[in-house]
Amino acid sequence: MVKQKVYIFDSTLRDGSQAVGISFSVADKIKIVKKLDEIGVSYIEAGNPGSNPKDKEFFDQIKGYKFINAKLCAFGSTRRPNIKPEEDSSIKALIESGAESMAIFGKSWDFHVTDIIKTTLEENLAMIKESIQYLKSHGKEVVFDAEHFFDGFKNNKQYAVDTITAAKEAGADWIALCDTNGGTLPMEIHEIVSYLVDELKFNNLGIHCHNDSGTAVANSLVAVQCGARQVQGTFNGLGERCGNANLSTIIADLNIKMGFEAIPDENLENLSSAYRYIDEISNVTPNEREPYVGNFAFAHKGGMHIDAVHKNPSSFEHISPEMVGNERTVVMSEVSGRSTIMSVVNKVNPDIKKNSDETKQIVEKLKELEHEGYQFEGAESSFELLVRKELGLFKPSFELIEYKVITDKPSNTEYSASAVVKIMVNGVMEVTAADGKGPVNALDRALRKALSVFYDCIASMYLSDYKVRVISGDKATSAKVRVIIESTDGEETWNTVGVSYDIIEASWKALVDSVEYRITQENCK
């Protein structure tokens, strides 16, 4: 059975760029365009060439790129009041962009026409019709974004319909109904889109939802259910205020749950990696709880859940994570149950039984440390060291004599801190010093410098991520903090944790666990 197509219209580079804290370079835009094309979206709205030099430069640079799946779309507005389309600078910039598809917005709410752009209702209809006709005369595919359509429909139904009728009569290829303020709920979307499709016979509708009511994804899916066949949004939900409809969720829902083809099914396994890639280029931290694509989307912590998933994944997973290129994660905590703990215990010693005294001792220690503020989910390497210590299978690789950290303010170089570390290994003293971009970086470099004298494998490892969490915020600057460090040797990655009232000491504990874990590995000499 051939799946019915729903056309995904990605606006990460236009609407997404309007999110607070987001600024794309031309190089960023080109990278994201290529990834979106690769994943299989139908349209990429890449910017407004009439609004700023950066977007104009992007369209100049992208000319000649051979798209595999997507059409490049330039964004602009209808002509301004009381001038001809060919005299409007925004319309001219759209034509000059070289894009084959154009998205232009026009007002569908009478309030915006009379009170915001200060023109007549009749002139606004002429602006819509003439702008579309002019772009069509230049051989362009035109998407008309009916801005504020749902608010307009609820306040003046006939006029809102008149605006999209004008677009239809002018030859618009798509008419996107915009919930610009994000205040419309799914039942309203259902009623209005059904009316347009069933009663007025619109057959080229799209949907453009903002997330101000937390329902942008639901609204988009309902619109498709009612007959819309284009969905606009941003790949990671970025956008003005609360963001736009999240296309990574919508794509998976349409393909997997609703039986449509939003992107080719064979590309679904690349969905998670594309999400993280676009977040990385956008310089935003991925939402790990994002449906389908977040690192926690298939993470299991509760003991009963973990036990059930081991028996049959469908007990607590709505799809197989591999379908969207994700993976199942079982996290370590005081509530994760002994079956999870045993996976680590038996890695260290296969002979330890689930109900043994050793296991009870490890569980009690785990609960004690978590009560102190430790968290071993996301720091499994520290938990493995804990197990080794409780089983009497751990021998420290070094003894700390002392460390000192000095910070310089103001700093005359990029290195604002220095650290001195004095350690003992098998009766041999080693004293080293290092500069760093902050006290933790200096301490990390000094410790690894000292240990690499005795352990060759330490020289190849480095700290790749560093997170700090205040865990007793009511105590202000005397609060306890938890530090989680990610380390790598270029091939493997591991995470360790430290807790203290002193952020330097918490960092030191996590650093020590990091190097101790590396030294316990078989390939460390």
For residues 84 and 229, membership in a common domain is answered with yes
* Same domain (yes/no): 372, 495: no
For residues 355 and 493, state if they share a domain.
no
Maximum Cα interatomic distance, the chain, rounded to a whole number of Å: 91
Dump pLDDT digits (tens) for 250-272: 999 999 999 999 999 999 999 99
Tokens coding 513 = 């666990």
- The answer for residues whose C-beta is within 8 angstroms of residue 444's C-beta and 6 or more apart is 436, 463, 511
Banded pLDDT at 463 (limits 50, 70, 90): confident
Q: Is 109 exposed, middle or buried (0-12, 13-18, 19+ CB in 10 A)?
A: buried
Q: Tokens in use for 502?
A: 């002193």
CB 419 within 8 A of CB 442: yes
Same domain, yes or no: 357 and 404: no
Residue 288 lies in a domain: no
Position 303 pLDDT exceeds 80: no
What the block records as the tokens of 448 is 């690894």
Burial bucket for residue 65 (CB in 10 Å: 0-12, 13-18, 19+): exposed
**Radius of gyration (Cα) for the chain, nearest Å?**
29
**84 falls in which pLDDT band (50, 70, 90)?**
very high
Q: Which two tokens stand for residue 338?
A: 């002994």
Query: 102 has which bridge partners?
Result: 74, 142
Say if 289 falls within a structural domain. no
- The proportion of the chain whose per-residue pLDDT surpasses 70, expressed as a percent, equals 96
For tokens 């970086």, the residue is 441
| Same domain? 164 vs 211 | yes
Q: Mean pLDDT, to the nearest integer, of 19-28?
A: 93
The answer to whether residue 483 is domain-embedded is yes
Last residue in a domain, options 358, 390, 422: 390
Residues 218, 265: one domain?
yes
Local structure of residue 279 (DSSP, 8 states): H
| 525 is a domain residue | no
The one-letter code for the residue type at 229 is R
Q: Domain range for residue 98? A: 4-282
Same domain, 278 and 325: no
Q: Kindly tell me if the per-residue pLDDT of 278 is higher than 90.
A: yes
In Å, how far are 11, 167, 248, 284, 425 from 236, measured between CA atoms?
10, 30, 6, 10, 49
Is 381 strand, coil or helix? helix
pLDDT tens digits for range 471-485:
866 666 678 999 999
Domain CATH code at residue 487: 3.30.160.270
Q: How far apart are CA 104 and CA 94, in angstroms?
A: 9
Q: Which residues have CB under 8 Å from 64's CB, separation 6+?
A: none
Which of 390, 416, 438 is where one domain is finished? 390
What is the spatial distance between Cα 104 and Cα 174, in angstroms, rounded to a whole number?
11
Q: In percent, how much of the chain has pLDDT > 90?
A: 72
Phi, psi of 328 (to 5 degrees): -75, 140
Judge residue 119's burial from the number of C-beta atoms within 10 Å of its C-beta, 0-12 exposed, 13-18 middle, 19 or more buried. middle
Residue 291 lies in a domain: no
Q: Does one domain contain both 381 and 239?
A: no
**What is the amino acid identity at position 217?**
V
Q: What is the CATH number for 11?
A: 3.20.20.70
Please tell me the predicted confidence (pLDDT) of residue 301: 75
338 and 412, same domain (yes or no): no
Q: How confident is the model at residue 67 (pLDDT cuts 50, 70, 90)?
A: very high
**What is the count of structural domains for the chain?**
3
d(CA 306, CA 208): 38
Q: Is pLDDT of 338 > 70?
A: no
pLDDT digits (tens, 9 = 90+) for 216-235: 999 999 999 999 999 999 99
Question: Is 214 in the same domain as 334?
Answer: no
Contact 249, 292 (CB under 8 A): yes
Q: Are residues 36 and 157 in the same domain?
A: yes
- Residue 294: inside a domain: no
Q: Is residue 151 part of a domain?
A: yes
Computed over every residue of the chain, the mean pLDDT equals 92
**282, 311, 340 - which closes a domain:** 282
Could you tell me if 132 and 56 lie in one domain? yes
Burial (CB count within 10 angstroms: exposed 0-12, middle 13-18, buried 19+), residue 227: middle
Q: What is the pLDDT of residues 168-187, one digit of tens each?
A: 999 999 999 999 999 999 99
Burial group, residue 371, by CB count within 10 angstroms (0-12, 13-18, 19+): exposed
